[in-house]
Homo-oligomer: A and B are copies of this chain.
Amino acid sequence: MDNISIAPEGTKYNLPTEEEGVQEKKKVLEITEQQRKLGRKIVAVQGMGFVGCVMAIVVADAENEKGHPIYYVHGHQRPSKRSFWKVPVINTGKPPISSSDMEVPELFERCVNQKKNFRATWHDIAYEVADVVVVDIQLDATKPAFGEAEKGYCDVTHFRDGMRTLGQHIKPDCLVLVETTVPPGTSERIVKPIIEEEFKKRGIDVEKYPPLIAHSYERVMPGAKYVKSIRDFWRVYSGVNKESKKRAREFLDDVLDTVNYPITELENTNASEMAKVMENSYRATNIALTLEWARFAEKIGVDLFKVRDAIRKRKGTHDNLLRPSLGVGGYCLTKDPVLANWSMKDVFEIDDELSLAVNSVNINDTMPIHTIDLIKEEYPDLKDVNVTVLGVSYLEDVGDTRHSPSYTLVRLLREFWAEVTCHDSYVEFWAELETEKVYNDLDKVLPEAEVVIFAVGHSEYKEIEPEELVKKCGTKPLIIDCSNFLSDEKIKQYLDLGCKVKGIGKGHIKNL
C-alpha cells in the first residue's frame, strides 16, 4: 500500500518506478521535440491543484491568429501518494477536480485528446524543457489557535522546495510566473535568492542571466464560471526586473482575454503580491463587520438583510456591503489576511500589525459559535439533541468544503455531545472531516431532528416547504436560518406549525 495513490473514486495507481522514470523522461523529451517542430513554445505548470490544472488547460487552449495552439503544456504533479493519481486521470482527458462548470471537462477532453497539446507528467524533465513555468503550488497559512489569527504563520518549506527544484532544472532564460497567492515579498525575498543560488551551483552567471521571475495572481471563483474566472477576468502582474515583466505580459496576453479584461502592471512584485492579499482581506473584513452588526440586529428586532438592502440602494459607495452568514469559508478569505500579516512581521520584520485584517479572520472563524449560542437559547444542554446540518460546503450550490464554517459548527456541536447528522447533495466525501458521513438524501437526515440548521444556501433547500420538512422530521424542530434562506412568509408558516425559528441577522423574527 506504500506505493499506491488512490483517486477519490477509488481507483488505485502504483507510484512510478525508477524504470518508468527513464521511460517518462524519454517520452517528455520526444513530445517536446515534436512540439517545438510545430512551432509551439513549451510551458510547464507546477502543481495540478484547483488552480494549476485549470490554468494548464487555459494555456493549452490558447490559439494564435491562425487558430493553432501557441503552447504545449506539461502539467507537472509530484508523484506523492496523495496526488499522483491526477497524472493518469488527466492523461485520459478527465479533470482531476469536480466543478459545476461544464467548460472544465470540455477543455480537458479537447486539449488532451483532440489538440493533444496538454499532458500531465510527474517527471522534473518538464521543467528543463520549459520556456515558461507557471507556479501553482499550494501555500497555506497555519493558524495554531482557534480565534487567534494574529498567531498565524505561513510554512514556506514545501514552497521553497518547489522553487529549489525549478532552480535546479530550468533554462536560464525560462520565465517563472508565480500564480500562487503568496505573502508579499515572496518573489523578491524567497523565490529569487533560491533560484539564484541554484543557478550559481550550476555555473550559470546570474549577472548575465538574472532569473526571470514574475507574479500574477489568479482570481478563481468556484462554480459555474470556473474557467472564465481564470481566462476572462482582470489580471494584475509584475516582475522582479524589466525582462520578466515583459515576458509575463507577452505570455498573459497570449493566454488570457486581456482585450476585454485589461491587465494591470504594477511597479514590483511586492505590489502585485500585496494586491491579491489586500483584495481578499478587504472582503474578509467586510464580511466580519456585517457579522458584528448581525448579532446586534438579532438583539434589537432588526432584519439586517433588509437594512443591507436599504444601504445598498445608495449607489456607488456602499455596493460591496456583504451579507451575514454562518461564517466565512473557502481557501482564500480564511488565509490571505494571515499571510499578509505574517509577511509584515516575519518577511519584512516591520513592527506593526494589520489589526483589522487579523481581527476579521477571528470574527469570521468563530462565527459558528454564535449559531450554537442561538441553539442554546432553546437547548441549554445540547447532549443527545438531534441536530441536522443542511449544507457542509462553504458556498451555495458548490461542493467545495475547504475551510467550510460547517466544519467548525459540526465539530463544536460534537464537543457538546449533540447528535449531529449532515446533509449536502454536492458533497460525496468530506475530506476535511473524514469521520463525518455526509448524506445526500433529506429523508435520511430529517426524521427525529430537534434542530434543523440551514447552514448553506443551496438552491435545493430553498424549495423545501415548511409543512413537508416538519412532516419529514416528525417533530417540531427549532429552525436556524444561517443565510437569509427563509422568506418572512416561510418563517410564519414554520411558526404556525409550532416550530421556533431563529436566524443570523434576523432579529425581526420575534415580531412576526
Q: Which residues of A contact B (CB under 8 A)?
A: 184-185, 219, 233-234, 236, 262, 264, 266-268, 270-272, 274-275, 278-279, 281-283, 285-286, 288-289, 292-293, 295-297, 299-303, 306-307, 309-311, 313-321, 340, 344, 348, 350, 352-357, 359-360, 363, 508, 511
Contact = CB atoms under 8 A, between A and B. Distances in A.
Given A302-B271, A303-B267, A310-B266, A289 B282 contact: yes
Counting from the closest, the 7 A-B pairs by CB-CB distance are A320-B320, A264-B310, A271-B302, A279-B311, A236-B310, A234-B313, A289-B356
A508 to B, nearest CB: 6
Contacts of A283: 317-318
B350 A296 contact: yes
Given A184-B300, A292-B356, 10 more contacts: A268-B511, A271-B297, A271-B508, A279-B321, A282-B321, A285-B356, A289-B357, A292-B353, A296-B340, A299-B348
Give the residue among A292, A309, A357 with the most B Cβ atoms within 10 A: A292
Nearest to A272: B310
B317 A318 contact: no
Copy tally for this chain in the complex stands at: 2
Contact of A264 (B219, B309, B317): B309
Specify which of A289, A306, A314, A508 lies most central, judged by the most chain B CB atoms within 10 Å of its CB.
A289
A357 B286 CA distance: 11
Contacts of A297: 271, 274
Most buried by B among A272, A307, A360: A307
Contact of A271 (B270, B306, B340): B306
B282 A318 contact: yes
Contacts of A363: 355-356
Contact of A275 (B278, B311, B356): B311
A307 B356 contact: no
Nearest to A276: B311
A239 to B, nearest CB: 14
Contacts of A307: 266, 271, 274-275, 278
Nearest to A311: B279
A24 to B, nearest CB: 40
Given A285-B356, A288-B356, A356-B285, A270 B300 contact: yes
A506 B482 CA distance: 41
A318 B275 CA distance: 12
A274 B303 contact: no
Nearest to A488: B267
Contacts of A219: 314
Contact of A352 (B275, B295, B348): B295
A301 B268 contact: yes
Given A267-B303, A274-B300, A319-B320, A311 B282 contact: yes
Residue from the set A266, A281, A282, A288 with the largest chain B CB neighbour count within 10 Å: A282
A388 to B, nearest CB: 28
A267 B300 CA distance: 12
A286 B359 CA distance: 14
Contacts of A302: 184, 266-268, 270-271, 274
Contact of A360 (B185, B303, B318, B356): B356
A295 B352 CA distance: 8
Given A275-B310, A289-B285, A356-B289, A296 B344 contact: yes
A87 to B, nearest CB: 33
A359 B300 CA distance: 23
A99 B104 CA distance: 57
A446 to B, nearest CB: 31
Contacts of A350: 296, 299
7 contacts: A184-B296, A267-B508, A274-B293, A285-B285, A285-B356, A292-B353, A296-B344
Contacts of A314: 219, 233-234, 279
